[in-house]
Amino acid sequence: MGFFRVSALQPTAANPAAACRRRQRGVALITVLLIVFMASVAAASLMTLQSFTLHRSTLLLNQQQARLYTLGAEQWAIALLKRDLRNDLEQNERVDTLQEDWATIPPSLPVEGGSISGRIEDLQGRFNLNNLLKAKKQPGTDSNATSNKPNLPGTKRTEKDSALNKEAPLEEKPQDAEEENNADKEENNADKEEDKADEKKDDTDKAATERKTINKKQFQVLRRLLELLDLDPAIADAIADWIDPDKEKRPNGAEDGDYEGLDPPYVAANQPLTSVTELRLIKGIDQAVYNKLAPYVCVLPAGTTLNVNTASPVVLAALNENLNIEQFKKSAEEAKESYKDINEFIEATKLAGQAGPMLNLAVNTQHFLIEVEAQVGEGRAVLHSVVERSEDGDIKVLFRSFGNDY
């Protein structure tokens, strides 16, 4: 309105009063333009803010939607694993192989507004780092239903698995059993001694403690795995020290003293690992070492078996010093074949009668990793779940994490 008033004023005479009015008219015009400019800026800011808020709401909504898709996919994967067990039992062939439906799901599926990709991996195809600890006997359970895991629910080996392991025609088997029994007796005796409390311990006691906590054969497997991956085998000592309950440092190992001087300082866990990512805290494991090792190891309750049908060539070759990676590399045609029982594996690898750590082998699996990624618009969600499938078909989720690695 002011604009029209200013426009209406026309100069009538070339005198000082008229010149003054012209200047005033100029100032008024600039003021009006400034106001219009300010109003435009304010309107534009409000629109930007509104657009940003709208975008953020849409993103949150999409993210939530993606998260729900990953949980839905997890349930679908669980249903697939249940169906696999039913099929196995119907066909009377309790094997888990990379040719089964759960292992060959399509890499990506379209869903409304986006897509889901994912996979199911047999975790027992990897080396279980917690197997470095000797599985403790639980009162009232048989020796094969073992567990040693304060953080994860237990796992039970099936009678069939146990039978398969017993059937393995290895000469050291009876020795292993005897050794394990002896170790268990030592363990019980040690427990009784601990109850007496605060009695002085000599070097012999210390040696006994170490013997009863770390499974030497599994330790050798880990050392070989590290060697085959071109990594320093001494890392096995640091890992063993990290999870064994004592504070006695192994040769090349690392206990509290090695971590207390770091920034920030911390101490050794002295208990089973709860996540593979925990390896990054252990001496000698930087990001490069971790990236090399992580795909071949898992963290499950102590005492789980290794599935020879799903283990990678490097993990199988680590089982015995007489094995090598090349012999486990299969052609596409050979890969369709699977071991129906452990004897077939022993025969194929010509390991019968050879000394070596061949414990805890199986042709089937109880623990799986489900990895799902869902994309909806710009919203994205990643889910990692570890599930345990018992032989009666029940499936429990042991670990679930959005975003973080297993």
**Binding segment for Ca ion among 11-19, 202-210, 238-246, 275-283 (CB under 5 A)?**
238-246
Nearer to Ca ion, 100 or 121 (CB): 100
CB of 226 to Ca ion, least distance (A): 19
**Binding segment for Ca ion among 83-91, 145-153, 156-164, 368-376 (CB under 5 A)?**
83-91
For residues 288 and 230, is the Cβ–Cβ distance under 8 A? no
Total interface residues for Ca ion by CB under 5 A = 8
**Binding segment for Ca ion among 91-99, 111-119, 198-206, 380-388 (CB under 5 A)?**
91-99
For residues 126 and 108, is the Cβ–Cβ distance under 8 A? no
Candidates 121, 187, 237, 244; binder of Ca ion (CB under 5 A) is 244
Nearer to Ca ion, 122 or 373 (CB): 122
CA–CA gap between residue 238 and residue 254 (Å, rounded): 5
CA–CA gap between residue 54 and residue 123 (Å, rounded): 42
Nearer to Ca ion, 21 or 340 (CB): 340
Candidates 74, 187, 237, 241; binder of Ca ion (CB under 5 A) is 241
Residue 398 tokens read as: 């042991």
88 binds Ca ion per the rule CB under 5 A? yes
- Apex 381 CA angle, 377 and 386, nearest 5: 150
Chain centre to alpha carbon of residue 333: 30
For residues 128 and 318, is the Cβ–Cβ distance under 8 A? no
Residue with tokens 């803010």: 49
Name beta bridge partners: 133.
Answer: 214
237 binds Ca ion per the rule CB under 5 A? no
Candidates 73, 77, 96, 302; binder of Ca ion (CB under 5 A) is 96
CB of 365 to Ca ion, least distance (A): 8
Measuring CA to CA, which residue among 122, 127, 121 is closest to residue 299?
A: 127
121 binds Ca ion per the rule CB under 5 A? no
Residues 252-281 that bind Ca ion (CB under 5 A): 268, 270
CB of 375 to Ca ion, least distance (A): 30
CB of 389 to Ca ion, least distance (A): 10
Long-range contacts of 348-354 (CB under 8 A, 24+ apart): 349/316, 349/320, 349/323, 351/170, 351/320, 351/322, 351/323, 352/169, 352/170, 353/169, 353/170, 353/171, 354/170, 354/171, 354/320, 354/322
CB of 244 to Ca ion, least distance (A): 4
CB of 237 to Ca ion, least distance (A): 11
CB of 285 to Ca ion, least distance (A): 16
CB of 181 to Ca ion, least distance (A): 25
84 binds Ca ion per the rule CB under 5 A? yes
Nearer to Ca ion, 129 or 268 (CB): 268
**Binding segment for Ca ion among 67-75, 87-95, 176-184, 376-384 (CB under 5 A)?**
87-95
Cβ count within 10 A of residue 255: 20
Measuring CA to CA, which residue among 184, 182, 172 is closest to residue 137?
A: 184
Coil vs helix vs strand at 371: strand
Measuring CA to CA, which residue among 101, 139, 135 is closest to residue 120?
A: 101
Nearer to Ca ion, 268 or 273 (CB): 268
Residues forming the site for Ca ion (CB under 5 A): 84, 88, 96, 100, 241, 244, 268, 270
